[in-house]
Amino acid sequence: MRFERSNTYGPMAILLHWSVALLFLIQIPLGFAMTMLDRKPALQFALFQWHKSLGFLTLALASARLVWSLAHRAHAAPEGVTRLEWRAARTVQFALLAATLLIPLTGWAVASSSPLRIPSYVFDLFVVPGLPIAVSDAAETFWSSLHGWLAYGTALLILLHGGAALFHHLYRRDSVLRNMLPFLADR
């Protein structure tokens, strides 16, 4: 079922957007921190498990976001936004959605391909089994590299996305950012 177009996002789209964004923004420093603690193995192990737990949560919420976006029509372009700008915005939004699925999946592949075979304890509630992929140092290196490059590339896309939203809000003074921030709706 698809709903009619509007110029605003609904509460569920807003909740999923900001939940995934917050999780991603937490994951970046957590990813750096966990790789810098070689001399503190207990803390490093805990940070890796938190990173994996938040990654699985991100994957679940991003999957829900994908399903939600497929079931609901995209909102109409705000007044004053050119066709080229709208296509660029939609392309970046699609790339960000894809990244929020691919980054956790490649992280899962890193854990699954590691010869260390360390289980992924999700919030100490249950263990997520590994993906059925090759286990080797080379496979772990490949997936780890891809995971990192996707994360860095996505961080750049987030800066572009956020910068464009601020440009619209502060310079053009249109509704682009207000559509995603309901507490700004009446300004």
At 20, which CATH number? Answer: 1.20.950
For residues 147 and 112, the answer to whether their CB atoms sit within 8 Å is no
Question: Could you give the residue ranges of the DSSP H alpha helices within the chain?
Answer: 11-35, 41-71, 83-113, 137-166
In a domain, 136, yes or no: yes
**What is the C-alpha to C-alpha distance for residues 7 and 75, in angstroms, rounded to an integer?**
5
- Mean pLDDT (whole number) for 99-107: 98
Range from 70-74, 135-139, 181-185 carrying the lowest mean pLDDT: 181-185
Per-range mean pLDDT, top range of 33-47, 126-140, 161-175: 126-140
In a domain, 5, yes or no: no
Domain housing 162: 11-184
In a domain, 44, yes or no: yes
- Mean pLDDT (whole number) for 2-13: 62
In a domain, 6, yes or no: no
Tally of domains in the chain:
1
What does the pLDDT read at residue 132?
Answer: 97
Q: How many CB atoms lie within 10 A of CB 111?
A: 23
* Average predicted confidence (pLDDT) for the chain: 88
In a domain, 3, yes or no: no
What does the pLDDT read at residue 184?
Answer: 56
pLDDT band at 187 (very low <50, low <70, confident <90, very high): very low
Q: With 50 as the cut, is the pLDDT of residue 115 above it?
A: yes
Higher pLDDT, 142 or 89: 142
In a domain, 1, yes or no: no
In a domain, 2, yes or no: no
pTM of the model: 0.88
Per-range mean pLDDT, top range of 5-9, 43-47, 183-187: 43-47
N-to-C CA span, the chain: 33
Q: How many CB atoms lie within 10 A of CB 1?
A: 4
- Mean pLDDT (whole number) for 130-158: 96
